[in-house]
A and B are shown apart, each in its own frame.
Chain A
Amino acid sequence: MSTNNILQYKEFSSFVNISFWHELSSKKLDVLKLNDEPIPLNSHYTFSPSQQLDPFLCLEFNGFQQTLKQSQQHKSHASNNNNENYYNVPNRSYLVPGTLLNYNTAEDFKQSPKTKLFEDASKKIWSDIVLGFVDKDMTLLNRFILITYADIKNHQFYYLFGIPALLPPQPIQQFEETKSLLQFYNKDQIKSTFMNNPVPQYFYLVGGSENEPFEIKNFEDSLTANEEYFKAHDGSREDNIPTVGFCDPCSLPSNPGWPLRNFLIYLIVKYQIKRVRVVCFRGVSLSSSEIETNSIVLSLTLPEIDGNITPEWSGKSVGWEKDNNGKIAPRFISLASTMDPLKLASQSV
């Protein structure tokens, strides 16, 4: 097959709300001080209403807060016990957990073991897949690292994002071109399936023959049901290709966003699927015509992973955020105009 059929994904663009930098500054002064241990963070993504808006990974002032679920799992972390403010994912947005590594000096930042940090995050994703943690919590498929140096005195921040995607042994190919949702489902099906049910971040579709609505199955609901479905639908024949879906932050007409990547690895590892159809669900608004025109369906051939699958990841991963020249390079932001008391005073009217 020619390389033209390789499925291409649109990368995330990090979008750090300035409220996050404010929060980091005050944390650095009051709590972290010179501590440069890794700190858990939370971010989210949502649907993109326009091609002019990249798929954003959004980090805000509450990025340091844990979700209720996370704080229950780590009860030992005393620091969170008295804190009733949990990280809330906004409407129609999806959680992406991550890790912050904040260094004290420019030199430490530069010398930080970036490649290792990135590999560690990749390994964690892989072991969560293999050890079955993802089965119960699909948000573990996406993970980011943020490496920072906060020059608080000057209100300047240097930062670098990595959002690892595990690479399959060979690139994933499309066996048919990208199609619109309407080429697979009629308007009634789309309406009754996607409009009348909550759409989980990752799902698969059951039933739906003869214009009936589909049933949306959340991967997290029942592992047994998932296993049965993918046993019967392993994609080895034309008539047993499974249909899965995910909430897609991308809005390009023929490319999916980044969260599909590790999900496909999960399907290969967990269910050994040969071919799959993927609904890239784009629920920008609550209108079914929007969903019809924006959502796309991909038909994919999945490679096999040879040999024994162990929790130890030995493959490769990609996903450092690039600058405007396509180079992996730290970004810089100065917030003197919004943080410096002197400048603020001169602005206020």
Chain B
Amino acid sequence: KTVEKVTPTLSTSKFLEEGVLTPEEFVQAGDLLTDKCQTWTWESGDPSRNVSYLPKEKQFLLTRNVPCYSRVKTLENESNASKAEEINIEEDEEGGWIAPQSTVQDINDDDDEPDISSLKIEDKQTTTATKPAVTNNDDDEDDDGEIPDMDDFQDDNIVEEEDPAVLSKNTTTTTTTNKESKEEDNILRTRTYDISITYDKYYQTPRVWLFGYDENRKPLKPEEIFEDISEDHAHKTVTIDSHPHLGISFAYIHPCRHASVMKKLIDKQSENGKEPRVDQYLFLFLKFISVVIPTIEYDFTLEFDT
């Protein structure tokens, strides 16, 4: 399809010099990401919010339902060493942040394996402290105003055939009492995130947006989302704003330092004798973002060293 010809703010590449992207380069990098990591897709979003400097069908990148098995706190307790290092560097860099090589590697030590493999059946002790809701979770925590009595909405006329072929989460055997069936539900469910990447015209870098859901697929509140953002970044670099293509409020990672961090990573690549490629920008970028959101297990696998 024809890419709409427009005059963006930035039209000549300053990728090597400043670590920033033109909209065309963002599309290029997004194309490679969606090609190599098929969990990422291009989205067009709300048509009335389309921006003219990006193709209509490539307005932003999205990966859905990314599992997030543990809270950052648990992870940080587990790897104090790498955290300490991160803090050191943090101070060196006058409050700026950079992805320390070792930390990145700690988190995803084997880049050749798609990181899905680490998600498998193994008993993760760190998994979600929250048990699958034992009570009807509609009655709990929400501070969103009056919670209606759902019994008022109960329609007793719906009856369903008892079906021995249904393996629902609570009925691994038929005709158990409620109490027993709850105990049989031994799969812990996990939080998920939708992560999207938009092009930020002002900073000329990608901008990362997070939207989280709890174990029961209810939206996470901002303070709960902060539990999944590394402590050093949580209140410094993450804020809430309206998503430019969806119009819903999301948490986002503030892009003010993205270019300088990317510049450092690109320089490092050059020093190591690798030629930085603008179409691989997002792989590098997502690798560094994983320091900010270490427990959200999104895919950015490419055989690739900095």
Contact = CB atoms under 8 A, between A and B. Distances in A.
A35 interface: no
B170 interface: yes
Q: How large is the interface on B (under 10, 10 to 19, 20 to 34, 35 or more residues)?
A: 35 or more
Contact of A290 (B116, B148, B216, B239): B116
B93 interface: no
Interface of A: 3, 6-11, 13-19, 22, 46, 49-54, 56, 58, 61, 85, 90-92, 106, 109-110, 112, 114-115, 118, 149, 154-156, 158, 167, 171-172, 252-253, 255, 261, 284-287, 289-290, 293, 316, 318, 320, 322-326, 328-338, 344, 347-349
A10 B167 contact: yes
A348 B239 contact: yes
A337 B161 contact: no
Interface of B: 34, 38-39, 41, 44-47, 64-65, 67, 69, 113-114, 116-117, 119-121, 127, 132-138, 142-148, 150, 152-155, 157-161, 163-171, 178, 181-182, 187-190, 192, 194, 211, 213, 216-219, 221-222, 239-241, 246-249, 299
A348 B114 contact: no
Contact of B145 (A18, A109, A326, A334): A334
Contacts of B158: 114-115, 118, 320, 328
A17 B169 contact: no
Nearest to B218: A333
B190 A332 contact: no
Interface centre among B136, B163, B164, B169 (most CB of A within 10 A): B163
B215 to A, nearest CB: 9
Contacts of B144: 155-156, 334-337
B10 to A, nearest CB: 27
Contacts, number: 195
Given A50-B119, A53-B65, A11 B155 contact: no
Nearest to A155: B144
18 contacts: A9-B166, A53-B192, A54-B169, A85-B47, A91-B41, A106-B152, A149-B153, A155-B144, A158-B153, A252-B167, A285-B299, A293-B120, A318-B163, A324-B134, A326-B181, A329-B136, A333-B219, A334-B147
Contacts of B178: 325-326
Contacts of B188: 52
Given A8-B166, A154-B145, A324-B216, A290 B117 contact: yes
Nearest to B112: A287
Contacts of B133: 324
A326 B163 contact: no
Contacts of A56: 65, 217
A324 B217 CA distance: 12
Contacts of B46: 61
Nearest to B69: A52
B20 to A, nearest CB: 25
Interface centre among A18, A167, A287, A328 (most CB of B within 10 A): A18
Nearest to B301: A285
Nearest to A284: B116
A114 B159 CA distance: 10
A253 B120 CA distance: 11
Report the 6 A-B pairs with minimum CB-CB distance, sorted nearest first: A334-B144, A8-B167, A336-B144, A326-B170, A52-B190, A285-B114
Nearest to B169: A54
B154 A329 contact: yes
B67 A324 contact: no
Given A52-B189, A91-B38, A328-B158, A338 B120 contact: no
B240 A347 contact: yes
A54 B189 contact: yes
A172 B163 CA distance: 11
B111 to A, nearest CB: 13
Interface centre among B137, B161, B167, B168 (most CB of A within 10 A): B167
A4 to B, nearest CB: 10
A58 B171 contact: no
Interface centre among B127, B132, B246 (most CB of A within 10 A): B246
A155 to B, nearest CB: 8
Nearest to A253: B121
Contact of A61 (B153, B240, B246): B246
A159 to B, nearest CB: 10
A323 B299 CA distance: 31
B194 A17 contact: yes
B38 A286 contact: yes
